[in-house]
Amino acid sequence: MHNKASLALSAAIMACSGFAVYAASSWPWKAALFPIAIGIPVFCLAAAEVVWSLAGSADTERAMDFAMSDDVPAPIATRRTALTVAWMVGFFAAIALIGFPYAVPLFVFLYLRLQGREGWIFSVLFSAAVWLFFHLVFDRLLHLPFPAGWLF
Amino acid sequence: MIEAFLEGLLLVLQWKAFAFMLLGIVLGFWVGLLPGLGGTTTLALMLPFIYAMQPIEGFAFLLGMHAVVATTGDITSVLFGVPGEGTTAATILDGHAMAKKGEAGRALGAVLASSLVGALVGALALALAVPVVRPLVLSFGSPELFMIAIVGLAFIASLSAQGARGMMRGFLAGGLGLMVATIGQDPQAGVARYTFDVLYLWNGIDLVPVLIGIFAIPEIVDLAVRGTSIAGELPKGSLNKGAFEGVKDTFRHFWLTIRCSLIGTFIGIMPGLGGAVSQWMAYGHAAQSARTDEERRGFGQGDVRGVLGPGAANNSKEGGALIPTVAFGVPGSSSMAILLGGFFVLGLVPGPDMLTKHLTVTFSMVWTIVLANVITVLACFLLLNHLAKLTTVRGQLLIPVIVVLIFIGAYTGNNHYGDIIVMLVFGAVGWLMVVGGWPRAPFVLGLVLGKIAENYLYISVARYEAAWLMRPIVLVLIALAVAVICYPLIQSRRSRARAAARHA
C-alpha cells in the first residue's frame, strides 16, 4: 500500500510536470520562466521516484508527519475509507442539489442513523443542534452567502 | 519602539480583538485535547473566517487559537499516552509514566507551568528580535528574498523525512506545491496558465480549500478507519491532586526550563525544523542534565524533568517561528505557512513593512501569545478534572461535525462550489501523501511560497539578469541551501558507518 500510493503519486506528478513544461514552452519567457525552472527538476525527481518504486526497493524512510493507524485489518480499513469518501461525495451532491441549509442537518442525521447506528431521538436532536449552530454562526453572525440548490 | 510595544498591548485589549482572542483560545483549547483534529488543521479551517476581520482581530483569533494548542495537547499526552498533537509526543515518555504512578496531577501541573514559561520566553525572543532583525531585513533585495525562500524550502524538504529517498520526496512535495502555485493568470505577461478555459482557475488555486483538504481529510479518514472513540477510559480520582507540586517542580528546575525554552525558540526560528524536532531536542537536553547513570535511567520512568523540557520547548517555539514568518515571509512550519496565508487574507505583506509600518501589529502578536497562554494555563488548572472527559467523544459523533465544518470552511474561500471540489481533490492528494509516507509540510510551503518566489525571481532576473547570482548574500544563501541538503545525507552516512564499525 505504502509503495503503491507513492508510485501513483509520483507517476501523477511526473505526468503533470511533463505537461506543465510542454505547455509553458509556448508562452512568453516572463510567464514561462518559473514553470519551466520548477517543472524540469520536479519531472526528473518524480521519474527517479517512479523508478525507485518500480524497482521495489525496501521503503524504510519515514516522513515526520502524521501516519495512518495500522492496527485495523487492511480489508476493513479499505472499506471504511471508501465509505468515508462516499459520505463526503454524497454530502457534496446534497449541497449542490438542495443547498447548505438543508444538506447540513440531512447529512448529520443520515450519518448518525446509518453509519453511527444512533437512536432516532438522539439523531434528530444532535442534527438540530448542528443545524442551529450552523444557522446562528455562519448565517446570522457571519452572514455567509449560501446559494439555493439546483432543486430548491 | 516602546510606544509601539505598549500600543500593541492596548490593541489586543480592545474589546473586539480580546473577544476574538478568547474565541480562538476556546477553539484551540478543545482542538489541542482531541488527537483526531490537529492544530494546523484547525488553523486552516478557521482561516476563511478572518476575511471580515481587522488585522489585529484576525491575528488575535488565529494566534490565540494556535498558541494554546500545544499546551492542551500535552494534557492528552500525559493522561492517555496519546499525543494530543504531533508536537506533544515527547511529553508522553515521562508524563504518562507519572500518570501511571498516580502522579497525573503533578505531571499536568509541571507541563502547564513549563508551557507558560516557554511561551513567555518565546514571546520575549520575538519582541527582542524586532530591532535586531529590522536592519537585516531592510538590507535584503529581491535576489536575497528569493534565495531565502529557496533555503526555507530546502530546510523543510530535507528535514521533514529521513534518508535520501525521504529527502527526495520532500523536494518533490515542495516542487508540487510550487507548481500548483503557478496555476492562474500570470502577473507579468497576463497568460492564463493551466486554466483549461475554466474561469474559476483564472485567479489561481485558493490556499484555504487546499490546506483544508490536504490536512483535514486524511485525519477524518483515519478517525473513521479506527472506528473508536478518540481515547480510552478515564483514570479515576481527582487529577488536581499534586498539580501545585508540579508548578513547584518548574521553579525547582527553573534554569533547565529556561534552557529548553531557548532550544524551542531557536528551532522555531530555523525554517523547516518545527515543534516535532524541538520537543525531542529539549527532552534530550533534559536527559543530559542528569548527573549520574542512575538518575539518567529514571528518564522514561516518570522523571519530572522529562516533562518540563518538552513542555517548555513546545510553547517557546511559537514566538521563535513567528520571527522568520513576520520578518522574511518565510514560514518555519505548516502552521506558520497557514498563518502566512492569514497575512495575505488580511491584506498584509510579511517583510520590512511588518517591522516599520505595521510594527504595532507585530507587537500585538507578541502580546496575544503571552495573554493567550496565561489565560489557558489558568483555565486548565480550574478545569483539570473535566478536561479529560472530552477525549472520550465518540468518533461517529465527531466526524459529521468536522465534515460539515470543513465543507463550509472550504466553500467560504471564494463562495464557489469549485472550492469544495479543490478541497476534495487535494484531500485525495493529502491521503496519498500520508499513505505513501510523503511529508505534507514541504507541499504547503511550496504552495505558499510559489507566488512570492516567482515574483522575486522575475524581478531579480529582469533587474540584474544573471548577475543576481553573484551578490554576496545570495552566494552565502546558495552555500547554506547546499549545506542544508548535504548535511542530513552526510550525517546519515556517518551513523551507518559507526553502526557498521560497532557490528564489526
Question: Domain segments of chain A: what residues?
Answer: 2-54, 74-141
pLDDT confidence bin for A110, thresholds 50/70/90 = very high
Give the orientation angle of helix B163-181 with respect to helix B441-464, to 10 degrees.
60
Mean pLDDT on B471-498 = 81
CB contact under 8 A, A69 and B226: yes
Considering only CA atoms, give the Rg of chain B: 22
Q: In angstroms, rounded to a whole number, what is the distance separating the alpha carbons of residues B238 and B195?
A: 59
**Residue B85's pLDDT band (boundaries 50, 70, 90)?**
low
Calculate the alpha carbon distances from B300 to A116, B252, B303, B307 in Å. Answer: 38, 20, 7, 10
Contact B344, B358 (CB under 8 A): no
Contacts of B223 (CB under 8 A, 6+ apart): B36, B230, B395, B398, B399
Looking at residue A114, what DSSP letter applies?
Answer: I
Grid coordinates belonging to B405 = 465544518
Does residue B185 sit in helix, strand or coil?
Answer: strand
Query: CA quadruple B325, B327, B330, B332: dihedral positive or negative?
Result: negative
Rounded to the nearest angstrom, the gap between the alpha carbon of residue B355 and the centroid of all alpha carbons in its chain is: 22
Do B370 and B116 form a contact (C-beta atoms < 8 A)?
no
Whether A131 contacts chain B with CB within 8 A: no
Distance CA A82, CA A124 (A): 26
Please, are residues A109 and A127 in contact by the beta-carbon 8 Å criterion? yes
d(CA B459, CA B471): 14
pLDDT per position as a tens digit, B191-220: 889 988 888 889 888 877 887 788 778 878
More confident residue, B133 or B216: B216
Q: Give the residue on B whose Cα is nearest the Cα of A24.
A: B193
Which are the contacts of A107, defined by CB distance < 8 A and separation ≥ 6? A87, A90, A91, A94, B400, B403, B404
**Residues B447, A22: contact at Cβ < 8 Å?**
no
Count how many Cα atoms sit within 13 Å of the Cα of residue B462 in the half-sphere of its side chain: 13
Mutation to test the A interface, candidates B82, B221, B447, B469, most A Cβ within 10 Å: B221
Q: Are B388 and B237 in contact (CB under 8 A)?
A: no
pLDDT at position A62 over 80: no
Determine the Cα–Cα distance for residues B238 and A34; give it in Å rounded to an integer.
Answer: 60
A18 has pLDDT over 60: yes
Amino acid at B54: Q
Between A39-53, B1-15, B83-97, the lowest mean confidence (pLDDT) is in: B83-97
pLDDT at B36: 45
Mean pLDDT, range B159-176, rounded to an integer: 80
Nearest CA in chain A to B454: A34
The ipTM estimated for the assembled molecules is 0.94
Q: Give percent of chain B above pLDDT 90.
A: 8
pLDDT value of position B422: 93
**By percentage, how much of chain A surpasses pLDDT 90?**
51
Cell of B127: 519582541
B101 vs B25 pLDDT, higher one? B25
Residue length, chain A? 152
Question: Hey, are the CB atoms on B394 and A85 less than 8 Å from each other?
Answer: no
Pick from A33, A83, A145: CB nearest B457: A33
Contact B436 A62 (CB under 8 A): no
Q: How confident is the model at residue B82 (pLDDT cuts 50, 70, 90)?
A: low
In terms of CA atoms, which chain A residue is nearest residue B458?
Answer: A30
Residue A83 confidence (pLDDT): 94
Would you place residue B233 in the very low, low, confident or very high pLDDT band (cuts 50, 70, 90)? very low
To the nearest whole number, what is the mean pLDDT of chain B? 79
Q: What is the pLDDT of residues B416-435, one digit of tens each?
A: 899 999 999 999 999 999 88
